[in-house]
């Protein structure tokens, strides 16, 4: 465009001149100034408005002016001429300055500073350039405060009830308030929700917004959570601050009523703590009436004093069983609601055993014990000897027959109610069986050594308790445990004693028993060499060797007898000539020779089955005794 000025035709001069003017006045000057469109600053802080300009190379600016624009007129507030700065006497005096890069700073900004500022750069013949920046002042509003309507809101309310008020103070510019229920935003609607907002401009110029939420509530809103959010713009971005979440008290009538029985276990037992609980779903809870229905010819109701529909029966009795009724009256619907529950208290009583103890019996007698009780359900009865003893039987009766001393003791009847855990009782009766003394024969043979001190033991049982006397003098020690008496006699072994032995006698009013104790000298030479080791009890070993000796003797005698009989038979037959010497049944009966031994064994087996078994076991073949006996008979025929 500047080149057009070189045109030489006079007719075009005007046009050229117009163009030239247009070029300078229309901003086509060589000075380009660039400013930010908007600068935002928080109230009270320092605003910085940078001013950039570019000039052709090797040229310099002449001046820089800063203005603000107010209702289209501009006011110079600061300028710089040839490196010198001047502050104009305006409202900005003292608050403005320019940094080295020509950035204008305004300190302690006020709401009035929210206006447009112009940076003008002059560079002599190059012209003048300018650009402008809008200064935005903002103030973050205070976090929103929520005030919930704590009076409680009836669901039946005619008008749309007030829920809460939300206030956010001192913001700039004016912020917005949005309401939320359970996290979802609420919008104005004609029938259910109404939001009333007010904006107050404070004397400071800041805005305080408040918003009141009106909304219809339902039963379910007792769990709803409301909150409000304040939203504002900051540096071109949306910001929000949220209030705390609140819930409202909702009033609604009782629709469902129930009467609940609470007890330690489903089956209520006498003595349990039982709670009857009227539970209605209204808010506030209604007034409850708790009644007991008296069953009978005419069902009547008895009022029970309860607090808030709760009745605690601390130690429930069987008389507390029955039908309970909870009643409430709803004032809104004018309807009465009822709920009932049945309480049945399980019991167990009147436990007794007949005949009553203590029971005295004579040995050999019999007795039937009967256990009786009453309960709310079928009873289970168990008999035991002593409380922790083993089970003797089930059912009402326990029969004892042919009793012995050992039958003495406590017989316990345990009763429990079927299907009611923990409801049981027990009772016991003492049975004493009188018997004459019995002495344990175990101690009748005592191995001793000459002259040693020996302790002889006599164990007797009887009821009444027996007294034990010894036939000789010595040191006696007695131990008595119920009907067992143990008496120890310590004496020195003398030849006379070895010969006479010792007698112990147990006596009670029913009779006397005695035991003769033989003292036997312990000798090592007469006994056969021990098979096992020598630690085995001497008495047992002695018995064993005697037994085995007896067995051997019997076996030998039987063998001799059999051989003799066989010999006699064979001899007889031979003499008669019925059997030739060379064919003794061999052709008739093809029996292997080994079997002949078995035949011998069978003869014995008739008389001594145990030994036969033993000997059979020694043979490799096992066959039934009868089988072989038959063959033996065959052979003879």
Ligand X SMILES: *[C@@H]1O[C@H](CO)[C@@H](O)[C@H](O)[C@H]1NC(C)=O
Q: DSSP secondary-structure letter at 366?
A: -
Smaller CB distance to ligand X: residue 249 or 467?
249
Among the residue ranges 13-21, 225-233, 251-259, 433-441, the one whose residues contact ligand X (CB under 6 A) = 225-233
Question: Going by C-beta distance under 8 Å and a sequence separation of 6 or more, which residues neighbour residue 304?
Answer: 290, 291, 292, 311, 324
Give the integer Cα–Cα distance in Å for 358 and 633: 67
Please list every residue from 354 through 393 that binds ligand X, using CB under 6 A. Answer: 364, 386
Stretch that binds ligand X, among 182-190, 415-423, 470-478, 609-617 (CB under 6 A): 470-478
User: Could you say which of 65, 120, 176, 376 contacts ligand X (CB under 6 A)?
Assistant: 176
When asked if residue 205 is in the footprint of ligand X (CB under 6 A), the reply is no
- Per CB under 6 A, contacts with ligand X among 28-47 are 33-36
Which token pair is 256? Answer: 């469902």
Q: Closest CB to ligand X among 250 and 326?
A: 250
Count other C-beta atoms under 10 Å from residue 473's C-beta: 8
Residue 24 as a binder of ligand X (CB under 6 A): the answer is: no
Instruction: Give the one residue of 305, 535, 582, 590 binding ligand X; rule: CB under 6 A.
Output: 535
For helices 609-618 and 538-576, the axis angle rounded to 10 degrees is 80
Q: In this structure, what is the dihedral angle of CA atoms 421, 423, 424, 425, given to the nearest 10 degrees?
A: 160
Give the C-alpha separation, 189 to 119, whole Å: 50
# residues near ligand X by CB under 6 A:
33
Which CB atom, from 176 or from 346, has the smaller least distance to ligand X? 176
Place of tokens 């042919």: 402
* Token couple for 329: 């009256």
Question: In terms of CB distance, is 131 or 267 closer to ligand X?
Answer: 131
Dist CA 597 CA 578 (whole Å): 24
* CA distance linking residue 130 with residue 88, whole number of Å: 19
Residue closest to ligand X, measured at CB: 34
Q: How far apart are CA 303 and CA 324, in angstroms?
A: 10
Among 19, 27, 28, 245, binds ligand X (CB under 6 A): 27
| CB nearer to ligand X: pick between 249 and 512 | 249
Specify whether the CB–CB gap between 299 and 322 falls below 8 A. Answer: no
* Nearest Cα to Cα of residue 605 among 562, 548, 543, 576: 562
Cβ atoms of 420 and 396 within 8 Å: the answer is no
Q: Of all helices (H) and strands (E), which one includes residue 84?
A: strand 84-87
Least separation in angstroms between residue 408's CB and ligand X is 7
444 and 518 in contact (C-beta within 8 Å)?
yes
Contact call for residue 457 and ligand X (CB under 6 A): yes
- Write the binding mask 234 to 263 for ligand X: x where contact by CB under 6 A, - elsewhere: ----x--------x-x--------------
User: Considering only residues 80, 261, 293, 472, which one is a binding residue for ligand X as defined by CB under 6 A?
Assistant: 472
Nearer to ligand X, 209 or 291 (CB): 209
Q: Choose between 284 and 567: whose C-beta lies nearer to ligand X.
A: 284
String marking each residue 80-99 x if it binds ligand X according to CB under 6 A: --------------------
Task: Assess 232 for contact with ligand X (CB under 6 A).
Answer: yes
Q: Where are the alpha helices (DSSP H) in 332-418?
A: none
Least distance to ligand X from the beta carbon of 608, Å? 28
Segment near ligand X (CB under 6 A), from 259-267, 289-297, 529-537, 544-552?
529-537
**Contact flag: residue 580 with ligand X (CB under 6 A):** no
| Piece of 27-35, 67-75, 252-260, 540-548 that binds ligand X (CB under 6 A) | 27-35
- Cβ 225 to ligand X, closest distance in Å? 8
Q: Applying CB under 6 A, which part among 278-286, 288-296, 306-314, 530-538 lies near ligand X?
A: 530-538
Minimum distance from CB of 52 to ligand X (Å)? 3
Closest separation in Å from C-beta 338 to ligand X: 29
When asked if residue 410 is in the footprint of ligand X (CB under 6 A), the reply is yes
Q: Which residue from 402, 499, 523, 620 is in contact with ligand X, where contact means CB under 6 A?
A: 402
Which stretch of DSSP H or E encloses residue 479?
strand 475-481
Compute the distance between CA of residue 9 and CA of residue 466 in angstroms, rounded to an integer.
168
CB 130 within 8 A of CB 120: yes
Answer for which of 50, 127, 285, 474 binds ligand X (CB under 6 A) is 50
Burial (CB < 10 A; 0-12, 13-18, 19+), residue 633, is: exposed
Minimum distance between the CB of residue 357 and ligand X, rounded to whole angstroms? 9
What's the half-sphere exposure (Cβ side, CA atoms, 13 Å) at 564?
6
From residue 264, give the alpha-carbon distance in Å to each of 274, 349, 397, 419: 8, 21, 33, 15
How far apart are CB 348 and ligand X at their closest, in Å?
20
Closest distance of CB 125 from ligand X, Å: 19
Closest CA to 427 of 360, 346, 357, 374: 357
- As a whole number of angstroms, the distance between CA 101 and CA 30 comes to 19
Q: Contact letters (x/-) for ligand X, 485-504, by CB under 6 A?
A: -x-x----------------
What is the Cα–Cα distance from 332 to 327, expressed in whole angstroms? 16
Are residues 152 and 251 in contact, defined by beta-carbon separation less than 8 angstroms? yes
Q: Is 513 in the site for ligand X (CB under 6 A)?
A: no
Nearer residue to ligand X within complex by CB, 39 or 311: 39
CA distances for 610 relative to 327, 607, 614, angstroms: 88, 9, 6
Binding stretches for ligand X (CB under 6 A)? 27, 33-36, 50, 52, 131, 175-176, 231-233, 238, 247, 249, 364, 386, 402, 409-410, 430, 455, 457, 472-473, 477, 479, 486, 488, 532-533, 535
């Amino acid at each position: 465009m500047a080149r057009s000025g070189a045109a030489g035709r006079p007719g075009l001069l005007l046009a050229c001149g117009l163009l030239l003017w247009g070029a300078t006045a229309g901003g086509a000057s060589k000075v380009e100034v660039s400013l930010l469109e908007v600068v935002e600053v928080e109230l009270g802080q320092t605003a910085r408005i940078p001013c950039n300009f570019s000039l052709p190379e090797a040229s310099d600016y002449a001046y820089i002016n800063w203005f603000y624009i107010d209702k289209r007129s501009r006011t110079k507030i600061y300028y710089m001429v040839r490196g010198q700065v001047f502050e104009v006497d305006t409202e900005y005096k003292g608050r403005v300055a320019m940094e080295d890069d020509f950035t204008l700073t305004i300190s302690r900004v006020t709401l009035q500073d929210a206006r447009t500022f112009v940076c003008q750069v002059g560079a002599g013949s190059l012209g003048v350039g300018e650009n402008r920046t809008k200064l935005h002042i903002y103030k973050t509003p205070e976090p929103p405060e929520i005030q919930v309507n704590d009076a409680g809101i009836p669901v039946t309310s005619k008008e749309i009830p007030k829920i809460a008020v939300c206030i956010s103070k001192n913001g700039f510019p004016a912020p917005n308030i949005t309401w939320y229920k359970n996290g979802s935003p609420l919008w104005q609607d004609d029938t259910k929700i109404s939001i009333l907002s007010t904006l107050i401009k404070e004397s400071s110029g800041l805005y305080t917004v408040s918003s009141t939420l009106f909304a219809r509530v339902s039963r379910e809103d007792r769990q709803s959570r409301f909150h409000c959010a304040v939203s504002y713009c900051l540096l071109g971005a949306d910001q929000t601050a949220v209030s705390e979440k609140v819930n409202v008290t909702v009033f609604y009538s009782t629709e469902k009523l129930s009467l609940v029985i609470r007890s330690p276990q489903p089956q209520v037992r006498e003595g349990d703590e039982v709670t009857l609980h009227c539970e209605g779903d209204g808010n506030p809870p209604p007034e409850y009436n708790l009644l007991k229905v008296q069953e009978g010819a005419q069902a009547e109701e008895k009022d029970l004093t309860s607090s808030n529909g709760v009745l605690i029966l601390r130690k429930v009795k069987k008389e507390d069983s029955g039908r309970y009724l909870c009643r409430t009256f709803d004032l809104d619907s004018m309807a009465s609601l009822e709920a009932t529950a049945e309480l049945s208290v399980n019991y167990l009583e009147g436990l007794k055993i007949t005949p009553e103890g203590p029971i005295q019996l004579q040995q050999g007698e019999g007795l039937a014990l009967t256990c009786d009780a009453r309960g709310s359900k079928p009873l289970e009865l168990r008999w035991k000897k002593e409380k922790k003893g083993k089970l003797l039987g089930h059912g009402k009766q326990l029969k004892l027959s042919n009793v012995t001393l050992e039958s003495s003791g406590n017989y316990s009847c345990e009763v429990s109610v079927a299907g009611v855990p923990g409801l049981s009782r027990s009772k016991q009766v003492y049975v004493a069986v009188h018997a004459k003394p019995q002495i344990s024969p175990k101690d009748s043979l005592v191995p001793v050594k000459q002259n040693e001190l020996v302790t002889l033991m006599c164990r007797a049982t009887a009821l009444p308790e027996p007294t034990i006397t010894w036939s000789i003098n010595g040191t006696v020690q007695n131990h008595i445990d119920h009907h067992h008496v143990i008496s120890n006699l310590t004496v020195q072994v003398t030849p006379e004693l070895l010969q006479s032995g010792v007698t112990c006698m147990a006596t009670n009013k029913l009779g006397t028993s005695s035991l003769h104790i033989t003292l036997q000298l312990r000798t090592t030479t007469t006994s056969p060499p021990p098979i096992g080791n020598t630690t085995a009890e001497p008495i047992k070993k002695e018995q064993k060797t005697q037994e085995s000796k007896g067995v051997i003797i019997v076996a030998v005698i039987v063998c001799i007898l059999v051989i003799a009989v066989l010999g006699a038979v064979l001899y007889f037959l031979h003499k008669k000539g019925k059997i030739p010497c060379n064919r003794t049944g061999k052709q008739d009966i093809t029996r292997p020779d080994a079997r002949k031994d078995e035949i011998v064994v069978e003869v014995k087996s008739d008389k001594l089955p145990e030994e036969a078994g033993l000997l059979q076991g020694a043979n490799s073949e096992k066959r039934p005794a009868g089988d072989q006996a038959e063959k033996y008979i065959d052979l003879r025929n």
